[in-house]
Amino acid sequence: MKNVIATDKAPAAIGPYSQAIEVNNMVYTSGVIPVDPATGNIPEGSVAQARQAFTNLSNLLEAAGTSTANVIKTTVFIKEMNDFAAINEVYAEFFPAPYPARSCVEVARLPKNVMLEIEAIATK
């Protein structure tokens, strides 16, 4: 059985998808972007955007009854590979060791022209 996870502490879905789905004590998030859910604003700069996106993801995982400590896999989409090191530093603040498996890819464009998007798979 699928449980839909939704919270107003992360950006609402902007299409026909759920913020996250739980199945068999596993949580699968959709891509989370750095939109402040309270204001709809997008911070300036890759570090501020990374911090907002990872905060949104953390809030979504909390709504699902888990946390970043239980994330087993992430995929990070970034607009500019030159931002990799700066984003990596913020990433390390949110994901404790042992770190989840991760893919990071540069993409041409992201929703709302943000600089990064992250999705995760976590256990409960």
> For residues 73-106, b (16+ Cβ closer than 10 Å) or e, as one string?
ebbbbbbeeebeeebeebbeebbeeeebeeebee
Does position 60 have pLDDT exceeding 90, yes or no? yes
Residues designated as active site? 104
Please report the pLDDT score of residue 14 as a whole number. Answer: 85
**What whole-number distance in Å separates Cα of residue 113 and Cα of residue 97?**
31
Query: Which superfamily does 3-123 belong to?
Result: RutC-like (3.30.1330.40)
Please report the pLDDT score of residue 120 as a whole number. Answer: 98
- pLDDT tens figures, 74-104: 999 999 999 999 999 999 999 999 999 999 9
For the chain, give every domain's residue range: 3-123
Report which residue type is found at 89: E
* Average pLDDT, rounded, for the chain: 97
- Do residues 75 and 103 lie in contact, with contact meaning Cβ atoms separated by under 8 Å? yes
Does position 23 have pLDDT exceeding 90, yes or no? yes
| 72 band by pLDDT with thresholds 50, 70 and 90 | very high
User: Which H or E run contains 4?
Assistant: strand 3-5
Q: Which residues contact 4 (CB under 8 A, 6 or more apart)?
A: 18, 20, 21
